[in-house]
Amino acid sequence: MNKSRPIYAPFQFDPSGARHLLVTDQPDPPADLNTNVQTLTARTHTADAILAFLPPHLATQTTGLRLYAIGSEAFVWDVNAIALAAGMGAGEVHLTRAGPLIRRVYCTHCQTMADDVATTITQCPGCGATLEVRDHFSRHHRAFMGVQVDAEAPGEIPAPEGFRS
């Protein structure tokens, strides 16, 4: 088991909160959602629009808010970083992984980020290296580590596969 890999609880309404905001890069919020939860979904907002909305919105909020982020790992960790910067902490932010198994990949050679990578072997858009996407997730970079796959044996490139998690 890879210890860098965050473990996500299934979405659950947190009754200890006084007010609730849910953001998702998926079209639909969870079924049977509590009606007290304000929601922003991909049906009305792009992920970028949600990420732009959050900082000024959170600056106006008071203690007692619960923030739920549901979506790709890149999206939920971007939301988490904004929440931390706004002063939210343990017990106030809940992250749930949902949607297609895509990853944000950080090229360890040229530091370029590639979003929406769907396979274990991918070309870095920055330096062109053929990267193996490791299961190593960096919370600092909010991305998975990508390392040149044929660094030791040039030309030996395994067949790309989809992610299993």
Partner 1 sequence: MRLRIAEITVLSPGIRKFTLEPLAGLLPAAGAGAHLVFDIPGATRVHKNAYSLIGGPQARTQYEIIVRRVEPSRGGSAWLHEHARIGDILEAKTPQNLFPLAHLAKKHLLLSAGIGITPFLAFARVMRTPFEWHHCSRAEDSAAFAALLPPGPQVTLHTSRNTLNLAAVLGTQPLGTHLYVCGPELFNETVQTMARALGWPESKIHTESFASAAGGAPFIVHLARSGQRLEVAADQTLLEAIEAAGIAAPYLCRGGACGACELPLLQGTPEHRDHVLSPEQRAANKSLMVCVSRARTPDLVLDF
Residues that bind partner 1 (CB under 8 A): 16-19, 58-59, 61-66, 86-92
CA proximity to 105, closest of 91, 79, 124:
124
Minimum separation from the CB atom of position 20 to partner 1 (A):
9
Query: 149 near 159, Cβ under 8 Å?
Result: no
- Give whichever of 40 and 145 is closer to partner 1, judged by the CB atom: 40
Minimum separation from the CB atom of position 74 to partner 1 (A):
23
Torsion-angle region of 46 (φ positive above 0: left; ψ -120 to 50: alpha; else: beta): beta
- Give whichever of 51 and 147 is closer to partner 1, judged by the CB atom: 51
- Give whichever of 15 and 27 is closer to partner 1, judged by the CB atom: 15
CA proximity to 140, closest of 78, 89, 98, 93:
78
Query: 80 near 70, Cβ under 8 Å?
Result: no
- Give whichever of 31 and 90 is closer to partner 1, judged by the CB atom: 90
Half-sphere exposure of 139 (CA within 13 A, CB side): 8
